[in-house]
Amino acid sequence: MLTKHLMRYMTKAISSDILLNFKRSVAEAKRVVTNSEHTLEIFVSITDPYSYLLLQVLPEIKERYSIQIRLFTVHDKQQGMFPDLEKWHSNSLLDCTRLAALYELEFPPLATYRPKAEFELTPYWGAMLEAEHSDTAVEDMQKIFKQYWQNMPCSLVAKKQNENVSMPLTLFKTIADNEEYLAEQGHYLPGIIKYAGEWYWAIDRLDHLEKRLNKLLHVPSAKTIKYNRQTKSAFTSPLKLKAIADPVILYFSARSPYSYLGLELAIKLCQQYACELVVKPVLPMMMRGMNVPRTKKMYIFHDTKREAKKQGIPYGFVADPLGKAVENCYSLFAMAKAQGKEVAYLLEFARAVNSQGILADNEKGMRIIAQRSGLEWEEAKKELSNQSWRKDVEANMDELNALGLWGVPCFRYQDTVTWGQDRIWVIEQAIQANASSKMRA
């Protein structure tokens, strides 16, 4: 119990702006002392669609900030970091199709895309490793990726195809070294940027990097944020529309910090469009027998903090609900739902464990949460031993798997399904399209 009490305050401390600003000051001081240039270290994989989109915007970033870019070729995602790689890959193609449309970037139609076999990738890796050290590395990488994704001929790849069918072991070792370096530095994804101790994933987190560079470098366009369309594209209707018949469905985990943000945003969205929000709880991955490595947990923690801050949502004073607290949460869900208070109840729980440091593995914490959400505590307390929720939670997970997804938060509106709290704009577009079609009918 003492550990749980201490951990709450540790999370509060390590997520504080004071510590973040101190770390940034130290990183900048080291750069100045060593007379080093401002440099982005970027890890890309030829089969990763997010890497392809990122490469398309790097020239603009490089020119705007006059910043150095160092590219590293990696093979793919680290084993053990993803519970279902096949579903991840399938979702990433659809997701990047949407992102490409949002940012007006190139991406192949899903109907025409054909992934290449492992032996076909050899010349691409060889060309990428050679391009890493070129003065025109970003431009060369763009050409290589364009051949893979768009079937546009590239002399750099053709050269490697003509040289040899197999790649020398030294090149495989270089890729392995790059992947080892990525892991040692503390990350696991391709399409990731490292700048002075912090990580920025693909286009999705470029706005955080822009804000940091704008403040640090004092460039003429210091107030420009170009890569925040995901945020700007959400909550765009100035007025409430007439009630939308179809609900927004949210697959939610009581432990997931991204689910907490997703719930806050989904409530806001449904209020704006006067539609019902249906929340379907699922078990956290670690309570389904899956492992979440510490590297991944720490990145998610810090990433949630900055995403929460961007949305004006409190986060950081975390009382991890893994185990008994999650069970307590779900045991009262049916009672709250019977009273029409299930969304308010889950919101109070999520706020309590993610931003208020309330331990929910005991009656004291659950009493606070239940009463805040309008539940009568003496009745609620009797339900804490209820285990009937397990069947419903398992059925919700089966639904999620049937949709081709594996984790939370996930949203569904009619036939539109998307993963991630930062994809609320996809659901909003679907709502708007539905409303427009009804108005035309």
Query: Which residues on neighbouring strands pair with residue 378, listed in sequence order?
Result: none
Q: Is 40 strand, coil or helix?
A: strand
Q: Is the peptide bond before 321 cis (omega within 30 degrees of 0)?
A: no
Give the separation between CA 233 and CA 413, rounded to whole angstroms.
17
Same domain, 49 and 196: yes
pLDDT at 249 over 90: yes
Domain boundary, last residue among 230, 258, 277:
230
- With beta carbons less than 8 A apart as the criterion, state whether 313 and 268 touch: no
pLDDT at 301 over 90: yes
Question: Which pLDDT score is estimated for 350?
Answer: 98
pLDDT at 28 over 90: yes
Question: Which pLDDT score is estimated for 117?
Answer: 86
Q: How many residues does the chain have?
A: 441
Per-residue pLDDT tens digits for 380-418: 999 999 999 999 999 999 999 999 998 899 999 999 999
Same domain, 317 and 432: yes
Same domain, 379 and 421: yes
Same domain, 146 and 169: yes
Give the separation between CA 190 and CA 45, rounded to whole angstroms.
6
State the virtual CA torsion across 58, 223, 40, 425 in degrees, nearest 10. -60
Same domain, 389 and 323: yes
**What's the CATH code of the domain at 206?**
3.40.30.10
- What ranges in 104-235 are assigned the alpha helix state H? 122-131, 137-150, 155-163, 169-185, 206-217, 229-232
The candidate with the shortest Cα–Cα distance to 103, out of 197, 258, 254, 226, is: 226
Residue 41, in any domain of the structure: yes
Per-residue pLDDT tens digits for 77-99: 666 667 778 888 899 999 999 99
Please name the residues in contact with 149: beta carbons below 8 A apart, sequence gap of 6 or more.
Answer: 49, 52, 106, 107, 108, 113
Residue 70, in any domain of the structure: yes
Same domain, 258 and 222: no
Which helix (DSSP H) or strand (DSSP E) does residue 19 occupy?
helix 17-33
Question: What residue type is 51 in one-letter code?
Answer: S
Over range 305-315, report the average pLDDT.
Answer: 97
Q: Residue 365, Cβ neighbours under 10 Å: how many?
A: 21
Domain span holding position 175: 36-230
Residue 21, in any domain of the structure: no
Same domain, 288 and 383: yes
CA-angle at 37, arms to 35 and 41, nearest 5°: 135
Domain count, the chain: 2
The candidate with the shortest Cα–Cα distance to 63, out of 228, 221, 227, is: 221
Mean pLDDT of the chain: 91
Domain boundary, last residue among 197, 230, 263:
230
Same domain, 206 and 256: no
Question: Which pLDDT score is estimated for 440?
Answer: 61
Residue 222, in any domain of the structure: yes
Same domain, 277 and 163: no
Domain boundary, last residue among 180, 206, 230:
230
Same domain, 327 and 186: no
Cβ neighbourhood burial of 20 (10 Å; 0-12, 13-18, 19+): middle
Confidence of residue 70 (pLDDT cuts 50, 70, 90): very high
Percent of the chain scored above 70 by pLDDT? 94
